[in-house]
Structure formats: C-alpha cells, structure tokens
Amino acid sequence: MKQLVSAPMLFVGAGIFLIVGLLLAFLYAPIDASTMGYSQKIFFYHAPIAETALVAFGVAFVAAILYLRSQDPKWDRLGVVCVRLGLLFSALVMATGMIWGKAAWGTWWDWEPRLTTFLLVCFLYVAYFVLRSVVEEEERRATFAAVFAIIAFIDVPITFFATRFLPAGMHPTVITTSGTGMPGSMFVSFFISMIGMTLLLVALIRRDLGVEELKDRVADLKNSIGG
Amino acid sequence: MTIEEGAKFVAAAYAIILAVLVLYYFLSARRVNALTRDVTLLEQEVRRRRGEAGGE
C-alpha cells in the first residue's frame, strides 16, 4: 500500500514534462498571429487540463461499468477518485477559460456549445457527489453512483465534439482529422504539456486511491475495536 | 491587445493553475500522512486489546 500511496516518480515525471512544456510555450512557440495574441499562451495548459478532465471522467465511466459487473469496491473507489479529480481539473478549465475568454473575446462567459456543455458536465459530476452523500448503505451508494456515472458520461463526448458538430460557437477547433491547426513549435509545446498533465492525473489517481484505501482501513479497524 | 495586457491574463491563469495543483498536492499528502498515522495507532490498539483478551 505504501508504494501505491507515494508514486513519487510519476509526480517527478509530470513535473519535468510540465516545466519543459511551459518553457517551450513561452520561449519556443511563437506568439499567436490571430486576434488572441499573447493571451493564446494560456492554451498550453488550458487545453491539456481540459483533455485530462475528460479522460478522468472516461476512467470513472469504465470503473462504473466494472463495478456493476463485479460489485468489487475497488472500482467504486476508482470511480470516486476519478470524478473528484475530473472536477478539480474542470474547475481549472473553467477558471482559465474565463480568463482567456475575457482576454480574447472581451467577455468572461458566453453560452456557446463548448462552454455550455462543459458547464453541464461540471454540474452532472457535482450531482454525483450529492447522490453519494444521500445514500447511506455502502453497496447501494456504490451501485447508484456507478449508474449515475455512466449516465453523466453521455455529456463528455458531446462536450468534446461540440466544436466540431456545432461550429456556431466562438470556441476554436484546434485538432481535427486534417491536422493540428497550429505551427509545429506550438504543437510540440502543447504535446509535452499534455503528457505532463496526463502523468499528473495518473499520479494523483494513484495517491488518492491510496487515501481511499487508508480510509477504508481506518473504518475497518474502528469497527473491529467497536469505535 | 498588447503583449503587456495579454501577459496579465496569462500570468493570472497560470498562477491559478499552479496554486490549485500545488495546494491539492500538499493537502492530499497531508491526508495520507494523517491516515497512515491513524492506521498505525488503531492497529496498535487492536493488538493491545487482543493481548489483553488472550491474557485473561
């Protein structure tokens, strides 16, 4: 369990990739030629954080299916951890997105498809924790949460593809089937930040899983001594 | 928008990201330490009670 909790190499690896990605974003990638100008530098962490949040919700979706198939509590723990981290990353996406929106579009918020569907994702996964808090019995709570996580995930691909299928919004589509839509130096900076953010997510999942296991162990020990 | 104006927004965005991620990292590390200590103390208590029960 100790090894599961620490996972220090993943944090070190994530830190190295994120620092290198940031340095490349500011020192190697050119200033965006469009109206966004220098504020486009926000993209190099904003987009990887957004992708990572959606990946976390994706893992929670898979964990929910595995829980319903096996009733093994480890999948419920993985689901809780991934939804919590997905929400953390989503909050960062919303905050940095609003700052970027104010700089690039002159407004903090716009009800365009990508932003609206992403906000809906956030509300859905907040509701996941509300649901968990109102069901006391452990197995029922895990089952309801798993079903809810599967339903909530429906909005994740809608959010991802919103800019592709509903192009009326202001949010740009950067990566398409025909290319990345950005110079090579920008893509390298973005890609390295993406690797760093994904490693950070994996490291945090491993650590938080350790926290959940420790919480269960404390509960078991308290039960065994009648406390 | 000038580079100086853009830089203020960029600095704000990266400051928020770094502050939140670093804070979460240290809070979860603190949580691990606290729970590990609880487990150790509770395991000692369980062993002590088992020892008492065995001695009776």
A78 or A161, higher pLDDT: A78
Token pair of A32 as six digits: 């965006």
- Indicate whether B1 pLDDT > 80: no
What is the domain range of residue A68? Answer: 2-224
Chain A contact present for B13, CB below 8 A: yes
Residue range A65-80: mean pLDDT, rounded: 96
- What integer pLDDT is reported at residue A47 of this predicted model? 93
Flag whether the ipTM exceeds 0.90: no
| Interchain proximity B17–A45, CB inside 8 Å | yes
Domain count, chain A: 1
Of A88, A95, A225, Cβ closest to residue B16: A95
| Interchain proximity A5–B39, CB inside 8 Å | no
Integer Cα distance of A190 and A6 in angstroms: 28
Question: Please, are residues A195 and A18 in contact by the beta-carbon 8 Å criterion?
Answer: no
CATH of the domain at A110: 1.20.120
CA distance A150 to chain B (A): 26
Identity (one letter) of the amino acid at A227?
Answer: G
- Indicate whether A2 pLDDT > 70: no
- Indicate whether B35 pLDDT > 70: yes
- What integer pLDDT is reported at residue A5 of this predicted model? 43
Q: What is the Cα gyration radius of chain B?
A: 24
A92 or A165, higher pLDDT: A92
A191 or A105, higher pLDDT: A191
Confidence of residue B9 (pLDDT cuts 50, 70, 90): very high
Chain B positions touching A11 (Cβ under 8 A) are 25
Chain B contact present for A207, CB below 8 A: yes
- Burial class from Cβ neighbours inside 10 Å (0-12, 13-18, 19+) for residue B26 reads exposed
A226 or A85, higher pLDDT: A85
Mean pLDDT over each residue of chain B, to the nearest integer: 90
CA distance B49 to chain A (A): 8
Express each pLDDT in A80-132 by its tens digit: 999 999 999 999 999 999 999 998 888 899 888 888 999 999 999 999 999 99
Confidence of residue A4 (pLDDT cuts 50, 70, 90): very low
Residue range A58-63: mean pLDDT, rounded: 98
Residue range A193-213: mean pLDDT, rounded: 95
User: Considering all CA atoms of chain B, what is the largest pairwise distance in Å, rounded to the nearest integer?
Assistant: 81
- What integer pLDDT is reported at residue B54 of this predicted model? 73
Query: B13: nearest CA in chain A?
Result: A96
Helix extents (H) in chain A: 2-6, 8-27, 43-70, 73-104, 113-134, 138-152, 155-165, 184-224
Integer Cα distance of A175 and A51 in angstroms: 12
- Indicate whether B5 pLDDT > 80: yes
Query: B49: nearest CA in chain A?
Result: A225
Chain A contact present for B33, CB below 8 A: no
Of A46, A211, A215, Cβ closest to residue B28: A211
- Indicate whether A1 pLDDT > 90: no
| Interchain proximity A218–B38, CB inside 8 Å | yes
